[in-house]
Amino acid sequence: MLINKDHRERAIIFDRDGVINDVILRGETISSPRSFAEFQVRDDFVQLYEQIDPQFFSIFVVSNQPDVARGLLPKSELDRMSAAMLERFAFSRISCCEHDDLADCVCRKPKPGMIKSILDDFGFEPENALIVGDSWKDILAGKAAGVRTVYLRRAYNEKDMNCMPDLKIDRLVQLLPIMKDML
Ligand SMILES: [Mg+2]
Ligand SMILES: [Zn+2]
């Protein structure tokens, strides 16, 4: 399925947990929502989203959700989260890897499978796509797919900073000028 794209259309690919929605603290461990009730969309994401011009940008989500394979997150709950996002936001696709490391799949970030599928299926050149994430896995996946990489600093991820992203930002709205430069 190759769709002819307007030459100015670009792909913005978001990691999910910690970017679109809040991470969940379980004891000392940063975790992700394991029920729909724990899924809270972040205000800073909404503020950014409202300023993205859909005429120029298609928006995608790529998310590792290994808690499905681990039996900690019912797939039905994950699907509810995705449905809620699609209801609220004009995302072109939400991709979730539901595997654990043991499955050795091609989709689990830092592998680039989910990003490559987006580029192939929607007809984007890698240089016209950008991933933003709060984990080194997002950055390495983006690099492996050849897209631009933006690392979002959060209070909990300082030790992750050696993944060599193209850019680092402290606030999501800082993406807007970066996106403008892609056009
Ligand atoms: Mg994340
Ligand atoms: Zn996978």
Question: Does the pLDDT of residue 40 top 70, yes or no?
Answer: yes
**Strand-pair partners of 26:** 29
Mean pLDDT of 137-143: 97
Instruction: Dump pLDDT digits (tens) for 87-127.
Output: 999 999 999 999 999 999 999 999 999 999 999 999 999 99
At 28 the pLDDT is 86
Distance CA 87, CA 36 (A): 14
Q: How confident is the model at residue 76 (pLDDT cuts 50, 70, 90)?
A: very high
For residue 174, report the distance from its CA to the centre of ligand 1, in Å.
17
For residue 28, report the distance from its CA to the centre of ligand 2, in Å.
26
Quick check: helix, strand or coil at residue 60? strand
For residue 117, report the distance from its CA to the centre of ligand 2, in Å.
12
For all residues of the chain together, what is the average pLDDT? 93
Mean pLDDT of 79-84: 98
For residue 90, report the distance from its CA to the centre of ligand 1, in Å.
20
Q: Which domains does the chain have, with CATH numbers?
A: 10-182 (3.40.50.1000)
Q: How confident is the model at residue 1 (pLDDT cuts 50, 70, 90)?
A: very low
Distance CA 24, CA 39 (A): 9
- Phi/psi region, residue 18 (left: phi>0; alpha: psi -120 to 50; beta: rest), is left
Please say whether the dihedral angle defined by the alpha carbons of residues 34, 35, 40 and 41, taken in this order, is positive or negative: positive
